[in-house]
Amino acid sequence: MNEHLLEVADLKITLPAGGATITPVDGVSLSLGRGEALGIAGESGSGKTLTLKSIIGLLPPGAFVEGDLRFALGDQAPIPYAATDVHGRGISIIFQEPMTALNPTMRVGDLIAEGPRIHEGLGKGAARERAVELMRRVGIPAPERRARMWPHQLSGGLRQRVMIATALSTRPKLLLCDEPTTALDVSIQDQILGLLQEIRTTLGMSIIFVSHDLAVLGELCERLAIMYAGQVVETGPTEAVFSSPNHPYTEALMTSVPSFDATSDKLAGIEGHPPDPRSFPPGCRFAPRCRYAQDDCAEAQFRLVPTSAERSTGCIHTEVFAGRER
Ligand SMILES: Nc1ncnc2c1ncn2[C@@H]1O[C@H](COP(=O)(O)OP(=O)(O)O)[C@@H](O)[C@H]1O
Ligand SMILES: [Mg+2]
């Protein structure tokens, strides 16, 4: 039996941008096992959010998608994404900013109950009961009282719990998390991570967790995909990637320190800026910032190549890492 829940092969997303078109996601390949948590790391603008949005079908108008997305419902092997009805059934997403993602004109309980009402046809009373039960499930104190509140009456941490409850309300097989803790205080961040970890184990969900912060991914994810300039440049088990990165960008990301300004995802410690999708450099896109770059890097055709059964890299000069232990 095929154990994969999701397979993404050579995903390309082209968007209209100021009269021109850009391809900010340009050859992303990912696979996700059932029950697995995959972390996607990369600087701001590398295409993480667009990749998640394509998986849940939330791309902006005018977006053109190429490549192959397959998603498994039930026990069958993954089938082409276009043939599955993922909306409200198999996949949910939580975003970084619960305040902008939660409809401000609906009471918290109604927000959480909306999915079950639409997708399962639950009546008002039963949906309200489900909402309160979910709020209790995600650790919201006094859920009956809070169900009658508006989103702006809750703290950032509680709003993020409401978003998680909303995401869980349709009993997804796959939860997509787009920097869900980035806007929160560190202690609240830890609580939300703990909650996601616990939910994942007890509900047996798969998770794709996007963050620019590798430490956060290390806590939750057993596998990592590192993105740079619209491409996945390295994949592998988290511990292996941490102890011996196979791509210079991964190494740079690991030795850089996330900014103390929690709302920005700028990284201190990597020279230069990630390239703009309007002008990706030829060959290896990281080469202009890479301390190991050689002449042939700018000519190399990008390919993610397996280096072992579980790992792959897009770097053509992995010999620079040979024999090094970190
Ligand atoms: N709706 C859009 N129209 C035009 N360009 C976009 C749109 N959404 C994102 N982009 C561009 O695509 C690139 C990748 O964006 P995104 O996926 O949000 O990156 P990340 O989540 O890694 O920060 C960025 O350069 C961004 O400016
Ligand atoms: Mg993003």
Q: What would the pLDDT profile of 67-88 be if each residue is shown by its tens digit?
A: 998 888 776 677 766 655 555 5
Q: Are 38 and 223 a contacting pair, CB within 8 Å? A: yes
Listed range (194-198, 277-281, 319-323) with the worst mean pLDDT = 319-323
Instruction: Give the pLDDT score at 320.
Output: 84
Pick the closest to residue 160 from 181, 174, 141 (CA basis): 181
Residue 95: nearest ligand to its CA?
2
Run of H or E residues at 7: strand 4-17
Q: Is the CB of 232 under 6 A from ligand 1?
A: no
The full length of the chain comes to 326
35-54 pLDDT, tens per residue? Answer: 999 999 999 999 999 999 99
Residue by residue, DSSP assigns 181-245 as TTTS-HHHHHHHHHHHHHHHHHHT-EEEEEES-HHHHHHH-SEEEEEETTEEEEEEEHHHHHHS-
pLDDT band at 31 (very low <50, low <70, confident <90, very high): very high
Q: Is the CB of 230 under 6 A from ligand 1?
A: no
Structure-token pair, residue 163: 């978003």
Instruction: Give the pLDDT score at 262.
Output: 46
Structure-token pair, residue 181: 């803790």
Dihedral over Cα of 117, 123, 127, 128: its sign: positive
Atom index in ligand 1 nearest the CA of residue 265 equals 23
Q: Is the CB of 40 under 6 A from ligand 1?
A: no
Q: Classify burial at 195, counting beta carbons within 10 Å of its beta carbon; exposed 0-12, middle 13-18, buried 19 or more.
A: middle
pLDDT band at 165 (very low <50, low <70, confident <90, very high): very high
Percent of the chain with pLDDT over 90: 68
The residue whose C-alpha atom lies closest to atom 18 belonging to ligand 1 is 49
Instruction: Give the pLDDT score at 293.
Output: 94
DSSP helix/strand/coil, 152: helix
Instruction: Give the pLDDT score at 261.
Output: 47
Instruction: Give the pLDDT score at 24.
Output: 97
241/212 Cα distance (integer angstroms): 15
If one counts every other C-beta atom within 10 angstroms of the C-beta of residue 156, the result is 15
Mean pLDDT of 212-226: 93
CATH number for the segment(s) 4-90+172-321: 3.40.50.300
Exposure string (b/e) for 86-124, b if CB count within 10 Å is 16 or more? Answer: bebebbbbbbbbbeebbeeeebbbbbbbbbbbeeeebee
Mean pLDDT of 123-149: 95
DSSP helix/strand/coil, 287: helix
Instruction: Give the pLDDT score at 257.
Output: 63
Using only the alpha carbons of the chain, give its radius of gyration. 20
Tell me the pLDDT of the chain averaged across its residues. Answer: 88
Decide which of 21 and 257 is more confident: 21
* C-alpha separations of 134 from 27, 34, 272 in Å: 38, 23, 45
Query: Mutate which of 14, 50, 177, 264 to test ligand 1's pocket (most atoms within 8 Å of Cβ)?
Result: 50
Compute the distance from residue 51 Cα to the ligand 2 centre, in Å.
9
169-207 pLDDT, tens per residue? Answer: 988 899 999 999 888 888 888 999 999 999 999 998 999
The residue whose C-alpha atom lies closest to atom 9 belonging to ligand 1 is 50
Residues 6+ apart with CB under 8 A from 200: 35, 37, 175, 207, 220
Does this model's pTM top 0.85? My answer is yes
Compute the distance from residue 130 Cα to the ligand 2 centre, in Å.
31
Instruction: Give the pLDDT score at 132.
Output: 97
Q: Is the CB of 45 under 6 A from ligand 1?
A: yes
Instruction: Give the pLDDT score at 322.
Output: 72
Mean pLDDT of 130-138: 94
Instruction: Give the pLDDT score at 150.
Output: 96
Q: Are 165 and 135 a contacting pair, CB within 8 Å? A: yes
The residue whose C-alpha atom lies closest to atom 27 belonging to ligand 1 is 45
DSSP strands (E only) in 72-205: 79-80, 91-94, 174-178
Could you tell me the residue ranges of all domains in the chain? Answer: 4-90+172-321
Q: Is the CB of 176 under 6 A from ligand 1?
A: no
DSSP helix/strand/coil, 31: strand
221/8 Cα distance (integer angstroms): 18
